[in-house]
Amino acid sequence: MTTAPAEVAARAAENRPAPRRRIPVPHKAAIAVFIAPFGILFVLFYLIPILQAVWQSMLVIERDGTFGEATEVFGGLAQYVLVFQNAPFWASVARVLTFGIVQVPVMLGLALLFALLLDSPLVKGKKFFRLAFFVPYAVPGVIAAIMWGFMFSPNLSPFTALTKSVDFLGADLVLWSIANVVTWVFVGYNMLIIYSSLLSIPTEIYEAARLDGASQWRIAWAIKIPLVRPAILLTAVFSIIGTLQLLAEPQVFASFSSAVISTYTPNMTIYATASVPNSSLAAAFSVVLALATFALSFTFLKITQRKGADE
Amino acid sequence: MTATTAMPGVVGPKGAGKGASSGAPRARGPRESLMSRTAAMLVMAVFTLYFLVPIWWLLVASTKSPGQLLTTPGLWFADFNFVENITALFEYRGGVYWRWLGNSVLYAGLGGLIGTLIAAMCGYALAKYRFPGREVIFNVVLGGVLVPATALALPLFLMFSQVGLTNTFWAVFLPSIVSPFGVYLTRIFAAASVPDELIEASRIDGAGEVRTFFTVSIRLMSPALVTVFLFQFVAIWNNFFLPLIMLRSEELFPVTFGLYTWNSQLNQIPELRSYVLIGALLSIVPLIVAFLALQRFWRNGLGAGALK
């Protein structure tokens, strides 16, 4: 946009004799050099695999007789019929949805609370807290899960008094133990996104409210939270996507808890199916999961946008 | 548990806020703020423990001999066995842990560098040049931001197995260097921080477009580049599904995945436990150091990403 004057001048100079239709693009070669490396890799490792997975999901295996050679032939939506009949897959989807309905609001609520506290004059030592809360984000999901797996174990935990009486790794609680790992890792990250959005609010906006004697909590509720709505929505969408894609943490917990079966989350189901190997069904699972992820975050954005417009 | 500890901090001061708005704000101000202050600090202190105790425990556990791990209190040191533990870890199975650490540095370090560079070139072109198809490219890339890495792992596996390249270094390395988020962030940053006048001046001096990018523009974009690199580095270092589905040979594993395989053998080989613990500690140190050293860069970068 800011290029307008130079651009117009350049175009005018180049175009005088030619008809107005075809405007030659200046610096064509340079643009190609800039875009090609990323563009080629993006096509190779994003677009083509996705298209291929969609194609693979439409193949079925056909044999000549019982012991004949297996060949893959086009089977239309046959795999998708199998997907919709597959009870373990839908159980895993229901499990991560339950997980998300509880874990995402708790995590984002905590992140918002901490961001507001850091932004208020109530807390001293902001720099320390900001770092301390963010450090878990530097711990890979696998390592965090290993660490918490030990913390929850009845023998090795530093809190054996608690872990011997409460079975954190049993069938009833293990989902929430995993939720704790995810929350532990990501609260600080989400807190920082909301916090940097809070920092960009000019202080004059709530100066007046402060002079009128409004408390920090009132300012937070009535002024700050509405202004950082976009940042909260962003973190919410990323959290929803992350929840549906859960894999590393439950996969690690499978070695601590027999309650975590090989089809515990949708991605674990995909991995288990691919190792059978049943590539076509795994591909169909992947396509369904990707569409569900997209639909869910899109719906969430639409709902919250409409709410925002009503207010 | 976490929800209830947060309650006092929220409920108490909110009630106080109502009192302030109904009358005599000036007289009430300081008292209410003392109460709020205490509640706020209490919340922060409790959660500092929540966030740091597991890491403290890991640090303490990695200094203990395998025997004392089970018999001494978890949150304080026993006999200092740290050096012996590290030596044992590095000698175990011909030093395979070293190999994993090296692999991770290669996947994440080199992958992050190349990924950041190509993302920056693309983002810069999208921000600074006008050409047909620009919006289409940007929207496709933006769609790519919403596709999580785990959703691509199986499709990538199917593709690589078709060309017989699964279980190779490239199967993990090549897909990792594509970062749509990097393009998105560098585009925003290039638009805001590289003035057109400067590019114009460079043109008048006779420098080519590509040269201008590498000598002038890239310097102005460096805070965003550090952010993109750091997040790309972390994403590759933490990537789990791709190595899980692609790699079979131990010598290709990144460190997090190697530790995962050890951890899942704990029931058969219990002595692996102390290797897992000290290995886990060593594997997070580089990440924590990188984050602490580069914090002034990524904090600004996070803000830029969230604002748009």
Q: What is the pLDDT of residues B52-107, one digit of tens each?
A: 999 999 999 988 888 777 777 778 888 888 888 888 888 888 889 999 999 999 99
Max alpha carbon distance in chain B (Å)? 77
Residues A88, A44 share a domain? no
What percent of chain B shows pLDDT beyond 70?
Answer: 86
What is the chain A residue with the closest CA to B9? A113
Residues A120, A19 share a domain? no
Whether B260 maps to a domain, the answer reads yes
Whether B191 maps to a domain, the answer reads yes
Q: Which residues pair with A60 in a beta bridge?
A: A73
Q: How far is CA A199 from CA A62, A256, B188, B207, B305, in A?
A: 61, 42, 19, 39, 14
Residues A84, A52 share a domain? no
Q: What is the dihedral of CA A177, A179, A185, A188, to 10 degrees?
A: -120
Residues A174, A115 share a domain? yes
Residues B175, B30 share a domain? no
Residues A107, A221 share a domain? yes
Instruction: Check residues A256 and A11 and name the one with the higher pLDDT.
Output: A256
Contact B201, B194 (CB under 8 A): no
Q: Calculate how close chain B gets to A225, using CA atoms only, in Å.
A: 14
- Per the listing, tokens 């200092």 go with B80
Residues B228, B133 share a domain? yes
Residues B107, B252 share a domain? yes
Question: What's the structural domain count of chain A?
Answer: 2
Whether A33 maps to a domain, the answer reads yes
Rounded mean pLDDT of B170-191?
93
Distance CA A114, CA B148 (A): 27
Put simply, the chain B residues between 82 and 111 with a CB less than 8 A from any chain A CB are none
- Per the listing, tokens 């929430």 go with A176
Distance CA A297, CA B184 (A): 19
Contact A42, B180 (CB under 8 A): yes
Instruction: Check residues A17 and B215 and name the one with the higher pLDDT.
Output: B215
- Residue-level pLDDT at B302: 60
Contact B257 A142 (CB under 8 A): yes
| Axis-axis angle for helices B222-238, B180-193 (nearest 10) | 170
What is the chain A residue with the closest CA to B281? A143
What one-letter code names the amino acid at A195?
Answer: Y
> Minimal CA–CA distance to A133: which of A179, A182, A181, A186?
A186
DSSP code at position A139: S
Residue A204, pLDDT > 90, answer no
Whether A25 maps to a domain, the answer reads yes
- B47–chain A Cβ distance below 8 A for any pair: yes
What is the chain A residue with the closest CA to B51? A133
What percent of chain B shows pLDDT beyond 90?
Answer: 51
Contact A135 B288 (CB under 8 A): yes
B52: containing domain? 2-61
Residues A106, A36 share a domain? no
| Residue A97, helix vs strand vs coil | helix
Residue A18, pLDDT > 70, answer no
Residues B56, B192 share a domain? no
- Residue-level pLDDT at A216: 79
In chain B, which residues have their Cβ closer than 8 Å to the Cβ of A183? 2
Rounded mean pLDDT of A245-251?
94
| Residue A26, helix vs strand vs coil | coil
**For chain A, how many helices (H) and strands (E)?**
16, 2
ipTM over 0.95: no
- Is the bond preceding A277 in cis, omega lying within 30 degrees of 0? yes
Nearest to B121 among A37, A132, A142 (CB): A37
Nearby residues of A234 by Cβ (< 8 Å), 6 or more positions away: A193, B306
Mean predicted lDDT score pLDDT of chain B: 83
Domain containing A137 — which CATH number?
1.10.3720.10
Nearest to A41 among B159, B178, B245 (CB): B178
In chain A, which residues have their Cβ closer than 8 Å to the Cβ of B57? 147, 151, 158
Rounded mean pLDDT of A6-30?
61
Whether A67 maps to a domain, the answer reads no
Residues A47, A86 share a domain? no
Residue B21, pLDDT > 80, answer no
Put simply, the chain B residues between 198 and 227 with a CB less than 8 A from any chain A CB are 200, 208-210, 213
Rounded mean pLDDT of A263-288?
93
Residues A93, A14 share a domain? no
Poorest-pLDDT segment among A144-153, A296-305, B106-115: A296-305
Phi, psi of A289 (to 5 degrees): -65, -40
Residues B239, B94 share a domain? yes
DSSP code at position A223: I
Whether B98 maps to a domain, the answer reads yes
Domain-ending residue, one of A56, A71, A99? A56
Whether A24 maps to a domain, the answer reads yes
Whether A73 maps to a domain, the answer reads no
Contact B241 A248 (CB under 8 A): yes
- Joined together, the tokens standing for residue B49 give 């423990």
Contact A241 B148 (CB under 8 A): yes
Whether B211 maps to a domain, the answer reads yes
DSSP run (H or E) holding A61: strand A59-63
Rounded mean pLDDT of B120-136?
93
| Angle in degrees, CA A158, B51, A113, rounded to 5 | 140
Poorest-pLDDT segment among A59-63, B121-125, B278-282: A59-63
Residues B100, B54 share a domain? no
Question: What's the structural domain count of chain B?
Answer: 2
Whether B203 maps to a domain, the answer reads yes
Q: Which residues pair with A63 in a beta bridge?
A: A70
Distance CA A204, CA B264 (A): 56
Residue A15, pLDDT > 70, answer no
Cβ-based contacts under 8 A for chains A and B = 304
Domain-ending residue, one of A41, A56, A71? A56
| Residue A74, helix vs strand vs coil | strand
Residues B151, B267 share a domain? yes
Residue B7, pLDDT > 60, answer no
Whether A118 maps to a domain, the answer reads yes
- Joined together, the tokens standing for residue B20 give 């302030």
- A299–chain B Cβ distance below 8 A for any pair: no
> Minimal CA–CA distance to B241: which of A236, A258, A272?
A272
- A74–chain B Cβ distance below 8 A for any pair: no
- Joined together, the tokens standing for residue A100 give 């998300």
Residues A127, A220 share a domain? yes
Domain-ending residue, one of B61, B81, B102? B61
> Minimal CA–CA distance to B78: which of B274, B286, B308?
B274
- Joined together, the tokens standing for residue A94 give 């229901």
Whether B29 maps to a domain, the answer reads yes
Residues A160, A23 share a domain? no
A26: containing domain? 4-56
Contact B151 A293 (CB under 8 A): yes
Contact B284 A106 (CB under 8 A): no
Q: How far is CA A86 from CA A245, A264, B144, in A?
A: 18, 13, 29
DSSP code at position B254: -
Domain containing B244 — which CATH number?
1.10.3720.10
Whether A74 maps to a domain, the answer reads no
DSSP run (H or E) holding A70: strand A70-74
| Residue A278, helix vs strand vs coil | coil
Contact A257, A170 (CB under 8 A): yes
Phi, psi of A60 (to 5 degrees): -125, 155
Phi, psi of B247 (to 5 degrees): -100, 140
> Minimal CA–CA distance to B199: which of B304, B129, B137?
B129
Residues A95, A52 share a domain? no
3-state SS, chain B, equals CHHHHHHHHHHHHHHHHHHHHHCCHHHHHHHHHHHHHHHHHHHHHHHHHHHHHHHHHHHHHCCCCHHHHHHCCCCCCCCCCHHHHHHHHHHHHHCHHHHHHHHHHHHHHHHHHHHHHHHHHHHHHHHHCCCCCHHHHHHHHHHHHCCCHHHHHHHHHHHHHHCCCCCCHHHHHHHHCCCHHHHHHHHHHHHHHCCHHHHHHHHHCCCCHHHHHHHHHHHHCHHHHHHHHHHHHHHHHHCCHHHHHHCCCHHHCCHHHHHHHHHCCCCCCCCHHHHHHHHHHHHHHHHHHHHHHCHHHHHHHHHHHHHC
Rounded mean pLDDT of A146-154?
92
- B136–chain A Cβ distance below 8 A for any pair: no
Q: What is the dihedral of CA B113, B117, B123, B129, to 10 degrees?
A: 170
Distance CA A196, CA A228 (A): 9
- Residue-level pLDDT at B301: 58
- B138–chain A Cβ distance below 8 A for any pair: no
Residue A27, pLDDT > 90, answer no
* pTM (predicted TM-score): 0.84
Contact B213 A34 (CB under 8 A): yes
Residues A109, A20 share a domain? no
Residues B148, B9 share a domain? no
| Residue B22, helix vs strand vs coil | helix
Nearby residues of B124 by Cβ (< 8 Å), 6 or more positions away: A34, B186, B187, B190, B194, B213, B217, B221
Whether A292 maps to a domain, the answer reads yes
For the purposes of burial, counting CB atoms within 10 Å of the CB of B253, is it exposed (0-12), middle (13-18) or buried (19 or more)? Answer: buried
Whether B28 maps to a domain, the answer reads yes
Contact B40 A248 (CB under 8 A): no
Instruction: Check residues B103 and A3 and name the one with the higher pLDDT.
Output: B103
Residues B38, B118 share a domain? no
Contact B256, B238 (CB under 8 A): yes
- Residue-level pLDDT at B307: 40
Q: Calculate how close chain A gets to B14, using CA atoms only, in Å.
A: 6
Poorest-pLDDT segment among A186-190, A202-206, B85-89: A202-206
Residue B15, pLDDT > 80, answer no
Whether B253 maps to a domain, the answer reads yes
Contact B220, B201 (CB under 8 A): no
- Residue-level pLDDT at B163: 93
- A55–chain B Cβ distance below 8 A for any pair: no
Rounded mean pLDDT of A11-38?
72
